[in-house]
Amino acid sequence: MTINLKVKQEKRKGLSINDIQDGYFILRNDDVRIVKMDVTNRNKIHLIDLKTFHVKTVSTKSELKSLFEDWSRIKILSPKQVNLNIGFQWKD
């Protein structure tokens, strides 16, 4: 499976943890996670890893921040800032 994520435009200041919304992307090096806010409980945040499709759920934004070791190396991108292509290749 190939994942191609191109950043179309980065904001000068960048987005902070308080800006995170449903559909946003969290990038750390080559790891890309999609943010999915829980519809039944707005405090729960589901993070979907695009390499493995594993889902990690956190209860608060502070728990989200503690999930990543060095928050200064994290990029938060809105869906309007990226172009995402996922390609699947079937093997026998």
Backbone angles phi, psi at 18, to 5 degrees: -75, -15
Instruction: Work out whether the CA dihedral 39, 45, 48, 54 comes out positive or negative.
Output: negative
What residues does each domain of the chain span? 2-85
Closest to 48 in 3D by CA, of 40, 39, 37, 59: 37
Tell me the whole-structure pTM to 2 decimals.
Answer: 0.79
Separation between Cα atoms, residue 20 and residue 36, nearest integer Å: 10
pLDDT digits (tens, 9 = 90+) for 30-89: 788 999 998 887 778 999 998 888 999 998 888 888 888 777 788 888 888 888 777 777
Per-state percent for the chain, helix, strand, coil, to nearest 5: 15, 40, 45
Domain 2-85, classified CATH 2.30.30, yes or no: yes
